Amino acid sequence: MALSATEAITSRRSIRAFTDEEVPDELLRTILTDAARAPSGTNIQPWNLIVLRGEARNDLVDAVQAAFDEGDKKSQENYYPTEFVEPYLARRRKIGWDLYGLLGIEKGDYDKMAAQHRKNYEFFGAPVGIFFTLHETMQSGGWMDLGLYMANVMTLAREHGLDTCPQAAWQEFGHVVHEHLELADDQQVIVGLALGYEDTAAVVNTLRTNRVPLEDFVEFRG
């Protein structure tokens, strides 16, 4: 029985350890096609994807992990705020410490933190790695459209028994991804997505995140 939209959305979690089970090609194409029913301002459909599997995936992973090891990173200045204010700072810290706590990584153990962070750059073992790019002329509207498309991919993945992890981590190595994949000059690497099947034996996947109550972010008037 396929999951309902509510079940697909509420059962989605960011998965940080995958099995090596392949994702059937037809299923992947169906998900990416159906996700494109996402709305976009004036129907511009600005999303572009590069889907990596097999050798293409492994080669990219090797290139970016080498850059990570050399410290060759460049942050995209328009992604995260230059300074996080409350309540966002506390929320951000909580997920970090919850994750490291679960893995037994203590405060100040930068080597272990780096080793965990490095797993981003192998798509946490997922057999499918996706990069989402936008034309360099796109502004925040295009980013919103891309987010809607990506949310559809993650929900549809759940419907079909798959799991995902959206990954902003790749933007630090956007220049390496861009060069390695020989992307057009006018394309900007926005975000990555790991897609595959959850490794249910992995401790990291026992992480559960909270959400603030409705009253904290919705103001009903009238």
Ligand X SMILES: Cc1cc2nc3c(=O)[nH]c(=O)nc-3n(C[C@H](O)[C@H](O)[C@H](O)COP(=O)(O)O)c2cc1C
Residues that bind ligand X (CB under 6 A): 13-14, 16, 95, 120, 165-169, 191, 209
Shortest reach from residue 166's CB to ligand X, in Å: 4
Q: How far is CA 3 from the centre of its chain?
A: 22
Shortest reach from residue 121's CB to ligand X, in Å: 10
Shortest reach from residue 26's CB to ligand X, in Å: 27
Shortest reach from residue 189's CB to ligand X, in Å: 13
SS3 content of the chain, % helix, strand, coil (to 5): 50, 15, 35
Shortest reach from residue 96's CB to ligand X, in Å: 9
Beta bridge partners of 165: 194
By beta-carbon proximity to ligand X, the closer residue of 152 and 167 is 167
CA distance 114 to 55: 25
By beta-carbon proximity to ligand X, the closer residue of 16 and 158 is 16
By beta-carbon proximity to ligand X, the closer residue of 95 and 115 is 95
Q: How far is CA 62 from the centre of its chain?
A: 19
Q: Is the dihedral of CA 65, 66, 69, 74 positive or negative?
A: negative
By beta-carbon proximity to ligand X, the closer residue of 34 and 98 is 98
By beta-carbon proximity to ligand X, the closer residue of 80 and 110 is 80
By beta-carbon proximity to ligand X, the closer residue of 32 and 146 is 146
Backbone dihedral region of 77: left (phi > 0), alpha (psi from -120 to 50 degrees) or beta? alpha
Cβ distance 158 to 124 under 8 Å? no
E-state strands within 30-159:
48-52, 128-135
Shortest reach from residue 6's CB to ligand X, in Å: 15
Length of the chain: 222
Residue corresponding to tokens 């360099």: 136
E-state strands within 24-156:
48-52, 128-135
Taking CB positions, which residue lies at the least distance from ligand X?
A: 169
